[in-house]
Amino acid sequence: MAAASPNLTGTTTQDERTMAVLAHVLQVVGWWIAPLIIFLVKRESRFVSFHALQVLFLQIAYMLTAGIFVVLWFVGFFVLVATMPATKSANPPVAIFMFFPLIWLGFIGLWAVVLTTAVVYGIKAGRGEWAAYPVVGKLARNVLKIGPTGAPLV
């Protein structure tokens, strides 16, 4: 079988659409690892590279934001422990019951955004659309040096 040549016409093959869908959907269970593998294996396809790179950038933003929530949790925990009175009969501060559920809701909200994004843009990739994520899509286009229809920028 002959080696596949890069698709220069702007249309996408079924294999490219499938790999782009997998890049979006597998981020839910494979975080950044599955899209990275797809990005490296299907590097010759601009369509797959674009979608996989968007997912990688989204996962980087997700990990940074989740890291901020973890830091807030630790700082909040240690501040609350440090400000507790030294007596044994003291009740825990009310802030524990307000602060930590907010951190938990932040984690759940982040996960819901990633899940929704994965499903919506996975469907668009399955249709062969060059749909860009709201923030990181433009960054992925600039890194790959492609236009909105996948045509290379000169």
- How far apart (Å, rounded) are the C-alpha atoms in residues 19 and 63? 23
pTM of the model: 0.78
Mean pLDDT computed over 59-70 = 88
Please indicate, yes or no, if residue 104 is contained in any of the structural domains: yes
Q: Could you list the residue range(s) of the whole structural domain that residue 118 is in?
A: 14-83+92-144
Tally of domains in the chain: 1
Please indicate, yes or no, if residue 8 is contained in any of the structural domains: no
Q: Which residues contact 107 (CB under 8 A, 6 or more apart)?
A: 66, 69
Please indicate, yes or no, if residue 9 is contained in any of the structural domains: no
Please indicate, yes or no, if residue 76 is contained in any of the structural domains: yes
Please indicate, yes or no, if residue 153 is contained in any of the structural domains: no
pLDDT, tens digit, for every residue of 109-150? 989 988 999 999 999 999 988 888 888 888 888 888 888 877
Query: Which residues of the chain form beta strands (DSSP E)?
Result: none
pLDDT, tens digit, for every residue of 12-64? 889 999 999 999 998 888 888 999 998 899 888 889 999 999 999 999 998 99
Q: Do 103 and 73 contact (CB within 8 A), yes or no?
A: yes
Please indicate, yes or no, if residue 152 is contained in any of the structural domains: no
Mean pLDDT computed over 85-111 = 77
Please indicate, yes or no, if residue 38 is contained in any of the structural domains: yes
Please indicate, yes or no, if residue 3 is contained in any of the structural domains: no
| Distance from chain centroid for Cα 14 | 24
- How far apart (Å, rounded) are the C-alpha atoms in residues 40 and 110? 26
pLDDT for the residue numbered 90: 66
